[in-house]
Structure 1
Amino acid sequence: MNEDVYKDKLQKIYQKSLDFFSLPDAFISIYQKLNEKSNYEVISKWISNNDDLILAYFNDSYLLVDNFKEQLPSRVNVCYDLEARKNRKQYPSQNSAYEIANDLNLDLLDKDEYLFLQSKLDWDNKTSSWLKTPLDFRQNKFAYFGDKKFGHTFIYHNGVQSYYATRGFRLKFVFKLK
C-alpha cells in the first residue's frame, strides 16, 4: 500500500472516530506515530483488507480497533488459542483467534476495552467476540467473550476449545504518542 492511500485511509478512520470518541490529539500527530516503520508494516497489512476500523482513546492509550457490526464470516468458527485448538480431541477448529491475531502482530480486545467501546458503539447483537483473558483464568481452560443484547453489554466465559458459527474476535493495535 502506498503512503498516500495509507494516509487517506487513516484520515477517514480518524474522521469517523470523532463521531463517537473524543480524541485528544490532532490527526497529524497520530499519523506520524502510525507511519513509523514498525507500525506502518503492521497497520498497512491490516487495513489493506479491512476498511472498517475505528480509533478510540482509552486509559491514556489509543486503540485502533475492528469496527464491523457483526462478526465477519472469515472470523468465526475459531477457538480461543493454539493450545485449545491442539487439545481439542474431536473436530478441532481450523484456526484460533490468537493465532490469527499473532500472525498480524495484533491483539484481542480485553473486557474493559470491549465494555468501553460498546458504551459508544453497537456491535455483536447477533454474534459474540472472544476477549483477551487473564492467564490465571485461561489456565483453567476458560476464556471471556462478550456480546450486546437489548442495549446491554454482557461478558461471559466459555471453554477455550469451544467454537461457534457466531463467535469471532476483534483485533486491536494499541499505541501512545508520548
Structure 2
Amino acid sequence: MNAMKNDKKELSAEGRDELLATLKARFEKNKARHEGIRWANVEARLEARSEKLWTLDQMELTGGEPDVIGFDKQSGEYIFCDCSPESPKGRRSLCYDRDAWNFRKENKPENTALDVAAEIGIEILDEETYRHLQTLGKFDLKTSSWIKTPANIRKLGGAVFCDRRYDTVFYYHNGAESYYAARAFRGTLRV
C-alpha cells in the first residue's frame, strides 16, 4: 500500500495528463457503463475539481480501473467506480475495519478495507451500488469484494462481501477480522 503514502495528494502535470488519457480511453471503450454521458463534460468537471485526480490515481494504482458509472442530477456529480474485472489487486488481503484488525491476536493483515478506503478518499460500495455495477458487466468472477456492512451485522462481529458466481450476484458474510488473498474492496468517488 506504499502507493498511498503521498502527503501532497496532488499529481504532477505529466501524471495528470497520463491519468486523464487512461480515464478517457477506458470511458470510450466502455460506453455502456455511462450511456448519455459525454467525456468532455466529465473532463471539464475533473478540471474544475483537480483535487479528485489524486484519488482517481490511487484507485488506478491499486488496480481499481476507475470509470464513470453514473451521474447524480441533483448534485451534478459524476460517479466513478472501480471497474476492474476482479477485485483490485492492490487492495487484497485486508480485514474489514480497524476494530476487526485490533481483534486479531496474531497474523494481522497489513491494513483494513475501511482504512485504505479513507486513505485513498473513496467510499466502499454498498450492496445497492455493487448490484448496480454488476448490471454494467460481469465482475468478481474469481474474487470477492467487501461491501459496506450494516451496523447491526458489524456490531455482532460480522462483515459482508459480494461476488458473482453462476451468473448470479451473491451476498455473503464473514467474521470482520477475516482476510483472503482473493478479497479486496471496490470504491466510488463523486466528482
TM range, smaller chain: 0.7 to 0.9
* Deviation at residue 153 of structure 1 after TM alignment: 0.6
What SS class does the counterpart of residue 21 from structure 1 fall into?
helix
* Alignment-mate amino acid for residue 23 of structure 1: E
4+ residue runs over 4 A deviation: 48-51, 58-61
Asked whether the equivalents of residues 164 and 170 of structure 2 are also in contact (C-alpha less than 8 Å), the reply is yes
Query: How many residue pairs are counted as aligned between the two chains?
Result: 174
* Deviation at residue 70 of structure 1 after TM alignment: 2.1
What SS class does the counterpart of residue 114 from structure 2 fall into?
helix
1:55 corresponds in structure 2 to 68
Asked whether the equivalents of residues 130 and 168 of structure 1 are also in contact (C-alpha less than 8 Å), the reply is yes
Pick aligned residue for 1:27 from 39, 51, 57 = 39
1:104 corresponds in structure 2 to 120
1:38 corresponds in structure 2 to 51
* Alignment-mate amino acid for residue 86 of structure 1: N
Asked whether the equivalents of residues 128 and 166 of structure 1 are also in contact (C-alpha less than 8 Å), the reply is yes
Q: Deviations over 1:116-174 (max 9, x none)?
A: 11122111111110001233332222221001111111111221111122211112212
* Deviation at residue 72 of structure 1 after TM alignment: 4.4
* Aligned alpha-carbon RMSD (Å): 2.3
* Alignment-mate amino acid for residue 20 of structure 2: K
2:164 corresponds in structure 1 to 148
Q: How does 1:127-166 map to 2 (within 5 A)?
A: 127-166=143-182
Pick aligned residue for 1:11 from 24, 28, 39 = 24
Asked whether the equivalents of residues 59 and 65 of structure 2 are also in contact (C-alpha less than 8 Å), the reply is no
1:81 corresponds in structure 2 to 97
What SS class does the counterpart of residue 63 from structure 1 fall into?
strand
Q: What is the TM-score normalised by the length of structure 2?
A: 0.79
Q: 1:8 to 1:96 in 2, by over 3 A?
A: same
Q: What is the TM-score normalised by the length of structure 1?
A: 0.84
What SS class does the counterpart of residue 153 from structure 1 fall into?
strand
Task: Measure, in 2, the Cα distance between the counterparts of 1:62 and 1:23.
Answer: 12
Task: Measure, in 1, the Cα distance between the counterparts of 2:34 and 2:58.
Answer: 26
* Deviation at residue 92 of structure 1 after TM alignment: 1.9
* Deviation at residue 67 of structure 1 after TM alignment: 1.9
* Deviation at residue 54 of structure 1 after TM alignment: 2.3
* Deviation at residue 73 of structure 1 after TM alignment: 4.2
Q: Which runs of 5+ in 2 are unaligned?
A: 1-11
Asked whether the equivalents of residues 69 and 79 of structure 2 are also in contact (C-alpha less than 8 Å), the reply is yes
Q: 1:116 to 1:46 in 2, by over 3 A?
A: closer
Asked whether the equivalents of residues 64 and 87 of structure 2 are also in contact (C-alpha less than 8 Å), the reply is no
